[in-house]
Amino acid sequence: MSDVKKFMFVNRKAPYGTIYALESLEVVLITAAFDQDVSLMFTDDGVFQLKKGQQTKGIETKNFSPTYRALEGYDIEKLYVDRESLQERGLTEDDLLVDVKVLSRAEVGALMDEQDVILSF
Amino acid sequence: MASIEVNGKSYETDEEGYLIDLAEWNPEVGNFLAQSENIEMTDQHWEVINFLREYFEEYQIAPAVRVLTKAIGKKLGPEKGTSEYLYGLFPYGPGKQACKIAGLPKPTGCI
Amino acid sequence: MLHIINRSPLADKALENCLNTATGGDILLIEDAVYAATKGNAFESRLRAAMGKFKINVLRPDLEARGMADRLVDGAKLVDYAGFVELAVANKTCQSWL
């Protein structure tokens, strides 16, 4: 296909407190059907979406964190995390439930410049 | 809200016949939903239904057809990982029909 | 007074403004505000410094939902929904910093 575009989903919100994280994930899954070049960026509180060990029984909300592990099966393999955002939240790569590439702020900005479409959540 | 009755017990469904609470599902409910889709369940059908339920248990979503086909091929053998095979079992679409029988929601991205 | 906060301290000024404005009392962190009471968060030292003036309570189901139950800061108290109600009853007034 000649008209493949580079799509980046930028995730900046923590899960559950607002609907953004779940909405983003659903749009990502739908976008996967269109064979585009999709990447996911997790920055600011968005890095919390990937935290291991989420247990949502007590808030009677669907725990959608296991779905991030399904992305590989959808051929979505470009997952990026901003290093400073992790550090500001006391998190390391080991705290995350999927394999990601950790980038500096400068690398994040450069990667954003390469995209055809950016969707922010 | 709509509902179905199986062995004297009532189960809530949405307007398209998908089970509301997947925890309520059991094989009898699966058989009932299959009948309403005019599908005679065989071991090959159950293999796909069980696979779908395991997939949902692990990832909390119903897979898109393309993803299901690929994953079935990996798990049950390449001869079964084709849309011909899966559409042969579930003529109106493995995603839509098999997910309904398995008590799962309609796949995300199923347009 | 009971102060209720539901926003992440790194995404919203609600908790910062509460700490700077309120004269003391109970604080209850719920929803995304629970991250403020987790070890290693950039807001941790600010929260610790306020502990002399405020009693910090954290809603357990919200902390568990976010996978952060293993890293609650020392000095903060976990409460469940019943504890939430008790705090609301024990305080004469209650303010949500929305």
The 10s digit of each residue's pLDDT in A36-72 is: 999 999 999 999 999 999 999 999 999 999 999 999 9
Local structure of B9: helix, strand or coil: strand
The pLDDT of residue B1: 74
Q: Is C68 on the interface with A (CB under 8 A)?
A: yes
Q: Is B23 on the interface with A (CB under 8 A)?
A: no
> In Å, how far is A44's CA from the nearest CA of chain C?
8
Share of chain A above pLDDT 70, in %: 98
Q: Is A16 on the interface with C (CB under 8 A)?
A: yes
Overall average pLDDT of the A71-90 stretch: 97
Dihedrals phi, psi of B96, to nearest 5 degrees: -65, -55
What is the C-alpha to C-alpha distance for residues C83 and A24, in angstroms, rounded to an integer? Answer: 34
For residue C81 the two structure tokens come to 């929904």
Task: Output the CA torsion B92→B96→B99→B103 (10° steps).
Answer: -100
A36-40, A78-82, B4-8, C84-88: which has the minimum mean pLDDT? B4-8
Whether chains C and A touch (3+ CB pairs under 8 A) is answered by yes
Q: Is C65 on the interface with A (CB under 8 A)?
A: yes
The pLDDT of residue A98: 98
pLDDT per residue as tens digits for the range C44-53: 999 999 999 9
Cβ atoms of residues B53 and B99 within 8 Å = no
What is the C-alpha to C-alpha distance for residues A16 and A23, in angstroms, rounded to an integer? Answer: 11
Interstrand relation of B2-6 and B9-13 (parallel, antiparallel or unpaired): antiparallel
Give A96's contacts in chain C (Cβ within 8 Å): none
Smallest Cβ–Cβ distance between A63 and the set B60, B66, B109 belongs to B60
Overall average pLDDT of the A67-90 stretch: 97
Does residue B110 carry a catalytic annotation?
Answer: yes
Cβ atoms of residues C19 and C13 within 8 Å = no
Residue C68 gets which letter from DSSP?
Answer: -
Local structure of A73: helix, strand or coil: helix
What is the C-alpha to C-alpha distance for residues B13 and B31, in angstroms, rounded to an integer? Answer: 15
Among A residues 75-104, those touching chain C with beta carbons less than 8 Å apart: 88-91
pLDDT at A1 exceeding the cut of 70: no
Smallest Cβ–Cβ distance between A54 and the set C10, C31, C67 belongs to C67
Q: Is A66 on the interface with B (CB under 8 A)?
A: yes
Give C42's contacts in chain A (Cβ within 8 Å): 88-89
Residue A81 gets which letter from DSSP?
Answer: E
Cβ atoms of residues B55 and B71 within 8 Å = yes
The H or E element spanning position A11 is strand A6-11
Low-confidence ranges of chain B (pLDDT < 70): 108-111
The pLDDT of residue B110: 52
The pLDDT of residue B111: 44
Instruction: Kindly determine whether residue B109 and residue A33, on different chains, have CB atoms separated by under 8 Å.
Output: yes
Our CA angle for A113, A116, A118, nearest 5°, is: 75
Task: Give the pTM.
Answer: 0.91
pLDDT per residue as tens digits for the range B75-85: 999 999 999 99
Question: At residue A100, what is the residue type?
Answer: V
pLDDT at A108 exceeding the cut of 90: yes
What is the C-alpha to C-alpha distance for residues B13 and B27, in angstroms, rounded to an integer? Answer: 16
> In Å, how far is C87's CA from the nearest CA of chain A?
19
Smallest Cβ–Cβ distance between A66 and the set B58, B63, B67 belongs to B58
Overall average pLDDT of the C75-87 stretch: 98
The pLDDT of residue A2: 61
Give A44's contacts in chain C (Cβ within 8 Å): 10-11
Average pLDDT of every residue of chain A: 96
Buried b (16+ CB within 10 A) or exposed e, A60-89: eeebbbebbebbebbebebbbbbbebbebb
